[in-house]
Each structure stands twice: as C-alpha cells, then as structure tokens.
C-alpha cells in the first residue's frame, strides 16, 4: 500500500513470535525464544549466568580441561561465549584480557598440549 510505513523486520519478527506464543498458550506447545525486553502477554523466564563450576564443566566438555582463570571471567557465565572461546583456542586479541605471551600473541585459553 502506498504511504504505509513498514516496521523494521526485527520488530515484525518479534511481534509475530509474541503473537504465536500468546495463541499457543495452554495448548501444550512450548515456544522458546530470546528477547531483550519483556513481551506483553508472554510469560518470561530469566536465566542467570552459569557459575564458575558449571562454566568450567562446559569448557571441559569442549576439550578445555584446565582453562586459564581469565577465560571464565571473560565469558561471564555465557554458555555460547564459553563454547566459542573453546573452539577458538586462544583468547581474542581484542578482548579485555590484556595478558600476552612472551611472543606478544594472545594467550591460549589453556596450556597447549605437549607432544610426547
């Protein structure tokens, strides 16, 4: 329609998800998604960050049995950050962890494995 203003796509998607969640309420269908702010008429559950032990377990499950102390602080209990850091193998050079190895490169997230 000419002259009709369109809402940004992210708002349309958010509204559509909220509409679906409200319509499915009480039907036995569970709708799970994330939103930065509460949605009218949609029950919300706030998830707390993982604690130190749980964060260390996520890293161990992803091949980092003994992470450097800064790594747990850097991830702030965010499971996605923990798995991405484990996959990277090094703390990103732009992170707030300013420690550097003797060569000046970003530190490993754990002591590198030694070859036999």
pLDDT digits (tens, 9 = 90+) for 54-97: 999 999 898 888 887 778 888 899 999 899 888 887 777 666 66
pLDDT at 92: 72
Q: Would you give the end-to-end CA distance of the chain in angstroms?
A: 70
State pLDDT tens for residues 23-65.
998 899 988 888 778 888 888 888 889 999 999 999 989 888 8
pLDDT on residue 9? 64
CA distance 81 to 86: 8
Checking phi first, is residue 72 left (phi over 0); if not, alpha (psi -120 to 50) or beta? alpha
**pTM, rounded to two decimals:** 0.58
């Amino acid at each position: 329609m000419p002259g009709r203003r369109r809402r940004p796509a992210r708002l349309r998607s958010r509204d559509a998800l909220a509409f679906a969640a409200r319509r499915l309420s009480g039907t036995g269908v569970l709708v799970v998604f994330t939103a930065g702010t509460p949605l009218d008429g949609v029950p919300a559950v706030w998830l707390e960050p993982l604690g130190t032990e749980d964060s260390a377990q996520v890293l161990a499950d992803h091949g980092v049995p003994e992470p450097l102390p800064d790594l747990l602080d850097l991830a702030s209990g965010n499971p996605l950050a923990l798995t991405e850091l484990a996959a990277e193998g090094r703390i990103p050079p732009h992170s707030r962890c300013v420690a550097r190895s003797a060569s000046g490169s970003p530190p490993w997230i754990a002591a590198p494995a030694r070859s036999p």
